[in-house]
Amino acid sequence: MAYAIATSNLTKSFGRNNVVQSLNLAVPYNGIYGFLGPNGAGKTTTIKMIMNILKPTSGAVTVMGKPSVELGPEQLAQIGYVSENQDMPDWMTVKYFLNYCRTMYPQWDQKFCQELLTQFDLPLHQRLRDLSRGMKMKAALISSLAYRPKLLILDEPFSGLDSLVREELISGFLEITRDQDWTILVSSHDLDEVERLADWIGIIDRAELKIQEETASLIQRFKRVEVALGSPSAATVKTPESWLRFQEDQMRVTFVESCYQPGETEKKVRELFPQESSIQVFPQTLKEIFVALARQYKISNL
Protein backbone atom coordinates (compact mmCIF):
# COMPACT_ATOMS: atom_id res chain seq x y z
CA MET A 1 0.00 0.00 0.00
CA ALA A 2 1.26 3.45 -0.83
CA TYR A 3 0.96 6.12 1.82
CA ALA A 4 0.59 9.88 1.66
CA ILE A 5 2.98 10.06 4.60
CA ALA A 6 5.20 7.25 5.79
CA THR A 7 7.93 7.50 8.38
CA SER A 8 10.43 4.77 9.08
CA ASN A 9 12.14 4.62 12.45
CA LEU A 10 11.89 8.37 12.59
CA THR A 11 13.86 9.72 15.54
CA LYS A 12 14.60 13.22 16.78
CA SER A 13 16.76 14.02 19.73
CA PHE A 14 17.55 17.33 21.32
CA GLY A 15 20.71 16.70 23.30
CA ARG A 16 20.13 13.44 25.14
CA ASN A 17 16.41 13.79 25.00
CA ASN A 18 14.56 11.67 22.42
CA VAL A 19 11.52 13.70 21.49
CA VAL A 20 10.46 11.27 18.78
CA GLN A 21 11.59 7.67 19.01
CA SER A 22 11.57 5.12 16.14
CA LEU A 23 8.24 6.32 14.82
CA ASN A 24 6.59 4.35 12.01
CA LEU A 25 3.66 6.43 10.93
CA ALA A 26 1.61 5.30 7.93
CA VAL A 27 -0.99 7.78 6.69
CA PRO A 28 -3.05 6.31 3.83
CA TYR A 29 -4.16 8.38 0.84
CA ASN A 30 -7.76 9.62 0.80
CA GLY A 31 -8.72 9.68 4.40
CA ILE A 32 -8.53 11.65 7.61
CA TYR A 33 -5.80 10.57 10.02
CA GLY A 34 -6.11 11.70 13.62
CA PHE A 35 -2.66 12.03 15.18
CA LEU A 36 -3.34 12.01 18.89
CA GLY A 37 -1.39 12.31 22.07
CA PRO A 38 -0.93 14.44 25.18
CA ASN A 39 0.81 17.78 24.98
CA GLY A 40 4.56 17.24 24.71
CA ALA A 41 4.23 13.72 23.27
CA GLY A 42 6.13 14.62 20.10
CA LYS A 43 3.31 15.46 17.69
CA THR A 44 4.56 18.86 16.60
CA THR A 45 8.16 17.67 16.25
CA THR A 46 6.96 14.81 14.05
CA ILE A 47 4.93 17.17 11.88
CA LYS A 48 7.87 19.54 11.55
CA MET A 49 10.01 16.66 10.28
CA ILE A 50 7.26 15.68 7.82
CA MET A 51 7.26 19.28 6.55
CA ASN A 52 11.07 19.36 6.31
CA ILE A 53 11.22 22.17 8.86
CA LEU A 54 13.25 19.99 11.23
CA LYS A 55 15.87 17.46 10.22
CA PRO A 56 15.50 13.96 11.70
CA THR A 57 18.31 12.68 13.91
CA SER A 58 17.80 9.31 12.24
CA GLY A 59 15.18 7.53 10.20
CA ALA A 60 13.27 8.94 7.26
CA VAL A 61 10.00 10.45 6.11
CA THR A 62 8.35 10.04 2.71
CA VAL A 63 5.67 12.51 1.72
CA MET A 64 3.59 11.66 -1.33
CA GLY A 65 6.35 9.36 -2.50
CA LYS A 66 9.24 11.75 -2.00
CA PRO A 67 11.76 11.90 0.86
CA SER A 68 10.80 14.90 2.99
CA VAL A 69 14.36 16.25 2.96
CA GLU A 70 13.95 16.70 -0.80
CA LEU A 71 10.64 18.58 -0.62
CA GLY A 72 10.87 21.60 -2.88
CA PRO A 73 8.44 24.28 -4.07
CA GLU A 74 6.74 21.89 -6.46
CA GLN A 75 5.85 19.44 -3.67
CA LEU A 76 5.11 22.12 -1.09
CA ALA A 77 2.52 23.57 -3.47
CA GLN A 78 0.64 20.29 -3.01
CA ILE A 79 0.69 20.49 0.77
CA GLY A 80 -1.38 22.72 3.00
CA TYR A 81 0.04 23.25 6.48
CA VAL A 82 -1.67 25.02 9.33
CA SER A 83 -0.18 25.06 12.79
CA GLU A 84 -1.50 26.32 16.08
CA ASN A 85 1.64 28.42 16.59
CA GLN A 86 2.04 29.59 13.04
CA ASP A 87 3.89 32.87 12.52
CA MET A 88 1.75 35.22 10.49
CA PRO A 89 2.50 38.71 9.22
CA ASP A 90 0.32 40.33 11.83
CA TRP A 91 0.37 43.78 10.31
CA MET A 92 -1.38 42.62 7.13
CA THR A 93 -5.11 42.81 6.66
CA VAL A 94 -6.94 39.58 5.79
CA LYS A 95 -7.29 40.71 2.18
CA TYR A 96 -3.66 41.78 1.86
CA PHE A 97 -2.52 38.51 3.46
CA LEU A 98 -4.53 36.33 1.07
CA ASN A 99 -3.39 38.34 -1.96
CA TYR A 100 0.17 37.96 -0.73
CA CYS A 101 -0.19 34.18 -0.43
CA ARG A 102 -1.88 34.03 -3.81
CA THR A 103 1.27 35.21 -5.59
CA MET A 104 3.17 32.20 -4.26
CA TYR A 105 0.88 29.57 -5.72
CA PRO A 106 0.32 29.39 -9.48
CA GLN A 107 -2.66 27.09 -9.00
CA TRP A 108 -4.40 29.42 -6.49
CA ASP A 109 -8.18 29.20 -7.00
CA GLN A 110 -9.56 32.67 -6.36
CA LYS A 111 -13.19 31.57 -6.71
CA PHE A 112 -12.67 28.91 -4.08
CA CYS A 113 -10.91 31.47 -1.89
CA GLN A 114 -13.96 33.76 -2.15
CA GLU A 115 -16.30 30.90 -1.28
CA LEU A 116 -14.28 30.11 1.82
CA LEU A 117 -14.20 33.77 2.83
CA THR A 118 -17.99 33.89 2.62
CA GLN A 119 -18.34 30.60 4.45
CA PHE A 120 -16.06 31.78 7.26
CA ASP A 121 -17.45 35.30 7.31
CA LEU A 122 -14.01 36.89 7.74
CA PRO A 123 -13.59 40.68 7.94
CA LEU A 124 -11.41 41.47 4.91
CA HIS A 125 -10.08 44.79 6.12
CA GLN A 126 -9.06 43.88 9.63
CA ARG A 127 -5.42 43.33 10.47
CA LEU A 128 -4.45 39.79 11.43
CA ARG A 129 -3.21 41.01 14.81
CA ASP A 130 -6.71 42.26 15.65
CA LEU A 131 -8.39 38.97 14.87
CA SER A 132 -9.56 36.48 17.50
CA ARG A 133 -7.73 33.17 17.70
CA GLY A 134 -10.54 31.44 15.81
CA MET A 135 -10.61 34.07 13.05
CA LYS A 136 -6.85 33.83 12.69
CA MET A 137 -7.05 30.05 12.30
CA LYS A 138 -9.70 30.56 9.63
CA ALA A 139 -7.47 33.00 7.74
CA ALA A 140 -4.56 30.56 7.98
CA LEU A 141 -6.79 27.73 6.79
CA ILE A 142 -8.04 29.69 3.76
CA SER A 143 -4.47 30.55 2.81
CA SER A 144 -3.64 26.82 2.86
CA LEU A 145 -6.79 25.58 1.13
CA ALA A 146 -7.18 28.06 -1.72
CA TYR A 147 -4.42 26.47 -3.80
CA ARG A 148 -6.22 23.12 -3.49
CA PRO A 149 -3.49 21.04 -1.87
CA LYS A 150 -3.64 17.27 -2.10
CA LEU A 151 -2.39 16.87 1.43
CA LEU A 152 -3.51 18.98 4.36
CA ILE A 153 -1.54 18.90 7.61
CA LEU A 154 -3.16 20.54 10.61
CA ASP A 155 -1.24 20.82 13.87
CA GLU A 156 -3.65 21.24 16.81
CA PRO A 157 -6.09 23.34 14.80
CA PHE A 158 -8.80 23.22 17.47
CA SER A 159 -6.93 24.05 20.62
CA GLY A 160 -8.41 26.94 22.54
CA LEU A 161 -11.39 27.28 20.21
CA ASP A 162 -15.05 26.98 21.14
CA SER A 163 -17.13 24.23 19.59
CA LEU A 164 -18.89 26.48 17.08
CA VAL A 165 -15.61 27.67 15.60
CA ARG A 166 -14.29 24.10 15.60
CA GLU A 167 -17.32 23.01 13.59
CA GLU A 168 -16.79 25.83 11.11
CA LEU A 169 -13.13 24.88 10.72
CA ILE A 170 -14.03 21.23 10.13
CA SER A 171 -16.61 22.15 7.47
CA GLY A 172 -13.94 24.34 5.94
CA PHE A 173 -11.19 21.79 5.69
CA LEU A 174 -13.56 19.07 4.51
CA GLU A 175 -13.80 21.23 1.38
CA ILE A 176 -10.58 19.71 0.08
CA THR A 177 -12.38 16.40 -0.24
CA ARG A 178 -14.18 17.69 -3.34
CA ASP A 179 -11.05 16.96 -5.31
CA GLN A 180 -10.18 13.44 -6.22
CA ASP A 181 -6.93 13.11 -4.31
CA TRP A 182 -6.92 14.33 -0.78
CA THR A 183 -5.45 13.35 2.55
CA ILE A 184 -5.78 15.09 5.88
CA LEU A 185 -3.48 14.65 8.87
CA VAL A 186 -4.82 16.38 11.95
CA SER A 187 -3.05 16.37 15.27
CA SER A 188 -4.98 16.94 18.46
CA HIS A 189 -4.96 16.25 22.16
CA ASP A 190 -8.76 16.29 22.13
CA LEU A 191 -10.02 12.75 21.60
CA ASP A 192 -13.74 13.58 21.47
CA GLU A 193 -13.20 15.97 18.62
CA VAL A 194 -11.41 13.43 16.51
CA GLU A 195 -13.49 10.34 17.26
CA ARG A 196 -16.17 11.42 14.79
CA LEU A 197 -13.84 12.87 12.26
CA ALA A 198 -10.92 10.54 11.76
CA ASP A 199 -10.87 7.42 9.60
CA TRP A 200 -7.54 6.45 11.12
CA ILE A 201 -6.10 7.01 14.56
CA GLY A 202 -2.47 7.11 15.60
CA ILE A 203 -1.68 7.61 19.26
CA ILE A 204 1.75 8.87 20.26
CA ASP A 205 2.95 9.11 23.80
CA ARG A 206 6.37 9.97 25.18
CA ALA A 207 7.90 9.94 21.72
CA GLU A 208 6.51 6.53 20.71
CA LEU A 209 3.56 5.42 18.60
CA LYS A 210 1.31 3.24 20.76
CA ILE A 211 -1.55 2.56 18.39
CA GLN A 212 -2.25 2.99 14.71
CA GLU A 213 -5.54 1.64 13.46
CA GLU A 214 -8.80 2.32 11.67
CA THR A 215 -11.11 4.20 14.03
CA ALA A 216 -14.10 1.92 13.39
CA SER A 217 -12.09 -1.22 14.15
CA LEU A 218 -10.61 0.31 17.29
CA ILE A 219 -14.08 1.23 18.56
CA GLN A 220 -15.46 -2.17 17.63
CA ARG A 221 -12.87 -4.18 19.45
CA PHE A 222 -12.92 -2.32 22.77
CA LYS A 223 -15.86 -3.00 25.07
CA ARG A 224 -16.32 -2.72 28.79
CA VAL A 225 -17.74 -5.91 30.22
CA GLU A 226 -19.53 -6.24 33.53
CA VAL A 227 -20.27 -9.66 34.90
CA ALA A 228 -22.51 -10.31 37.89
CA LEU A 229 -21.68 -13.51 39.72
CA GLY A 230 -24.28 -15.77 41.32
CA SER A 231 -21.74 -16.83 43.92
CA PRO A 232 -18.27 -15.57 44.78
CA SER A 233 -15.53 -17.01 42.62
CA ALA A 234 -13.44 -19.56 44.47
CA ALA A 235 -9.94 -19.45 43.05
CA THR A 236 -7.99 -16.75 41.28
CA VAL A 237 -8.74 -17.08 37.61
CA LYS A 238 -6.13 -16.51 34.94
CA THR A 239 -7.74 -14.08 32.51
CA PRO A 240 -6.86 -13.55 28.83
CA GLU A 241 -4.28 -10.86 28.04
CA SER A 242 -6.84 -8.96 26.00
CA TRP A 243 -8.80 -8.22 29.18
CA LEU A 244 -7.54 -4.89 30.42
CA ARG A 245 -8.24 -3.25 33.76
CA PHE A 246 -9.54 -6.51 35.18
CA GLN A 247 -11.21 -6.02 38.55
CA GLU A 248 -12.92 -8.58 40.69
CA ASP A 249 -14.78 -8.37 43.92
CA GLN A 250 -17.08 -10.82 45.66
CA MET A 251 -20.02 -10.83 43.29
CA ARG A 252 -18.83 -8.81 40.35
CA VAL A 253 -16.17 -8.82 37.66
CA THR A 254 -15.39 -5.92 35.34
CA PHE A 255 -12.82 -5.50 32.60
CA VAL A 256 -12.19 -3.84 29.27
CA GLU A 257 -12.05 -6.38 26.45
CA SER A 258 -9.59 -5.17 23.82
CA CYS A 259 -10.45 -7.87 21.26
CA TYR A 260 -14.22 -8.03 21.53
CA GLN A 261 -16.05 -10.46 19.26
CA PRO A 262 -19.78 -10.77 19.84
CA GLY A 263 -20.47 -14.13 21.48
CA GLU A 264 -16.82 -15.11 21.86
CA THR A 265 -16.06 -12.86 24.80
CA GLU A 266 -19.29 -13.97 26.51
CA LYS A 267 -18.33 -17.60 25.94
CA LYS A 268 -14.93 -17.04 27.54
CA VAL A 269 -16.57 -15.33 30.53
CA ARG A 270 -18.90 -18.33 31.07
CA GLU A 271 -15.96 -20.67 30.79
CA LEU A 272 -13.92 -18.83 33.44
CA PHE A 273 -16.87 -17.83 35.62
CA PRO A 274 -19.48 -20.57 35.33
CA GLN A 275 -21.35 -18.98 38.22
CA GLU A 276 -22.09 -15.78 36.20
CA SER A 277 -25.67 -14.56 36.42
CA SER A 278 -25.46 -11.76 33.86
CA ILE A 279 -23.02 -10.32 31.35
CA GLN A 280 -23.35 -6.75 30.16
CA VAL A 281 -21.31 -5.25 27.36
CA PHE A 282 -20.90 -1.50 26.97
CA PRO A 283 -19.37 0.56 24.16
CA GLN A 284 -16.24 2.56 24.90
CA THR A 285 -15.45 6.05 23.76
CA LEU A 286 -12.03 6.82 22.35
CA LYS A 287 -11.24 8.54 25.63
CA GLU A 288 -12.14 5.44 27.64
CA ILE A 289 -10.12 3.25 25.29
CA PHE A 290 -7.19 5.55 25.79
CA VAL A 291 -7.51 5.38 29.58
CA ALA A 292 -7.62 1.57 29.45
CA LEU A 293 -4.52 1.50 27.29
CA ALA A 294 -2.82 4.09 29.45
CA ARG A 295 -3.10 1.84 32.49
CA GLN A 296 -1.87 -1.13 30.49
CA TYR A 297 1.08 0.50 28.79
CA LYS A 298 1.68 3.20 31.40
CA ILE A 299 0.82 5.94 28.96
CA SER A 300 0.42 9.33 30.54
CA ASN A 301 -3.16 10.48 30.77
CA LEU A 302 -4.51 13.09 28.39
Distance CA 104, CA 93 (A): 17
How many beta carbons lie within 10 A of that of residue 145, not counting itself? 21
In the complex, minimum distance from the CB of residue 288 to other proteins, in angstroms, rounded to a whole number: 7
Shortest separation between residue 300's beta carbon and other proteins, angstroms: 22
Contact 68, 75 (CB under 8 A): no
- The region of 36-44, 64-72, 94-102, 286-294 touching other proteins under the rule CB under 8 A is 286-294
Q: How many CA atoms lie less than 13 Å away from 69 in the CB half-sphere?
A: 9
Among 70, 90, 162, 192, contact with other proteins (rule: CB under 8 A) = 192
Residues 279 and 262: their CA atoms lie apart, in Å, by 12
Q: Residue 126: which residues within 8 A CB-CB, separation 6 or more?
A: 93, 94
The least distance separating other proteins from the CB of residue 102, rounded to whole angstroms, comes to 25
Q: Which residues pair with 213 in a beta bridge?
A: 201
Among 60, 197, 211, 272, binds other proteins (CB under 8 A): 197
Write the interaction track for other proteins spanning residues 15-54; mark x where CB under 8 A is met and - where it is not.
---------------xxx----------------------
Report the candidate in 70, 283, 14, 52 with the shortest Cα–Cα distance to residue 153.
Answer: 52
Nearer to other proteins, 76 or 197 (CB): 197
* Contact mark string toward other proteins, 214..253, x via CB under 8 A: -xx--xx---------------------------------
In whole angstroms, give the CA distance from residue 173 to residue 120: 11
In whole angstroms, the minimum distance from the beta carbon of 219 to other proteins comes to: 5
Question: How many residues sit close enough to other proteins to count as binding (CB under 8 A)?
Answer: 31
**Beta carbons of 7 and 46 less than 8 angstroms apart:** yes
Q: Is 285 helix (H, G, I), strand (E, B) or coil?
A: coil
* Closest to other proteins by CB, 9 or 163: 163
Closest by CA position to 268, among listed 229, 226, 240: 240
Task: Tell whether residue 283 is a contact of other proteins (CB under 8 A).
Answer: yes
Q: Quick one: which segment of 39-47, 108-116, 130-138, 271-279 binds other proteins (CB under 8 A)?
A: 271-279
User: Which residues of the shown chain bind other proteins in the complex (CB under 8 A)?
Assistant: 30-32, 167, 170-171, 174-175, 177-178, 192, 195-199, 215-216, 219-220, 277-280, 282-288
